Amino acid sequence: MEKLKVLLVVGNLEMKRHLDGILSKDPDLDVVAEANNAYTARDKIIECDPDVMLLCHDLPRMSGITFLGKLMPQRSTVTLVIAESRFEDDAYHAGARDFVACGDNCEILEHENICSRLKKAVGGEWLAAAKRAPVLNAAQMNRNSGGEGDGITSIIAIGASTGGTEAIATVVRGLRRDIPGIVMVQHMPEGYTQMYAHRLDNEGEVSVKEAVSGDVVKPGQILLAPGDKQMRIVRINGRYQVECKHGPRVTGHCPSVDALFESVARVAGKEAIGVLMTGMGSDGAKGLLAMKNAGARTIGQDEKTCIVYGMPKVAYEIGAVKWQVPLDQIAQKIYYLLDKRQ
């Protein structure tokens, strides 16, 4: 069996000595390269094509988590991050597969099962997905990743109604764990959304949960709006989070696709992809148009594969849909747009 190729990225010499000692004891791991800053790490990824990266946050010139946030939209490298506990949410939002809390006391690393956690992080499907895209160059790294106007997709918004439960399941089965975070509305009454989220969670690689206020939008996860609340996104300290609040119906619904999409247009702009699927009425059409006008890429399910061609039809008629796509090709189209950055 081939050894797992590890890239070690660490700026602190004492921590490097501890990690070198830990990794050298495992016969299944091969440290193929080391780097002490983000720019060298980028070059080593190109040169050595590691299976997994062990990344310390405390690096010179650019922090490890900032580097990871810039890297993940271009190449989904399986990564375990080591940092102080206060950076845990930031690490997962940037795309970390696992996180180890460690401050100044490097000896704590001896008790964190680093080697087994590296091997667990690299599952077969995840590893296959991690090899598919080129690494960004130095000029791209120097841009503000995930900030205003860089055009990197960092959030996907999906809405559906009648016929949507099975249609959404079809899309979910086509998604991998490297997908940017997804926020979603499916018209359902209170109590049913939690059960539906649990069902979707077992459909494929991505995780699905019923959203609660304060949930961070993370790669590889779908946040489903609860059945009795309006869900919108906000941006706090550079991270997308959801707010789920009781409120009036919007376009006749609570939760409403329009309410979600309009918040995505306002907060995420060109960083987003919007998908409007089968459903009766017009909910989501105006919101999808707002997203398109803000620079987002927009997809509407085509008439032939809709159970009810209502919501995506209205969206198409008002010019909100850039691409009409059959149901079984929606996941593929999302990945195409992610790769092309159109």
Q: How far apart are CA 281 and CA 57, in angstroms?
A: 48
Structure tokens at 21: 């000692």
Number of Cβ within a 10 Å radius of residue 119: 17
| Contact predicate 123/220, CB 8 Å | no
Q: Diameter of the chain by CA atoms?
A: 63
Q: Which of 178, 215, 283, 302 does the annotation list as catalytic?
A: 283
Instruction: Please pick, among 63, 187, 258, 302, the residue that the annotation labels catalytic.
Output: 187
Tell me how far apart the alpha carbons of residues 141 and 137 are, in angstroms, rounded to a whole number: 6
- Strands 230-236 and 239-245, by their bridges, are antiparallel
206-211-214-219 Cα dihedral, nearest 10 degrees: 10
Helix, strand, coil percentages in the chain from 3-state DSSP, rounded to 5: 40, 25, 40
CA atoms in the 13 A half-sphere facing the CB of 187: 24
The Cβ of residue 300 has, within 10 Å, a number of other Cβ atoms equal to 27
Radius of gyration, CA atoms only, the chain: 21
Q: Helix crossing, 164-173 with 330-340: angle to 10°? A: 50
Among residues 63, 76, 145, 161, the one annotated as catalytic is 161
- Tell me if residue 161 is catalytic: yes
Residues with catalytic function:
161, 187, 283
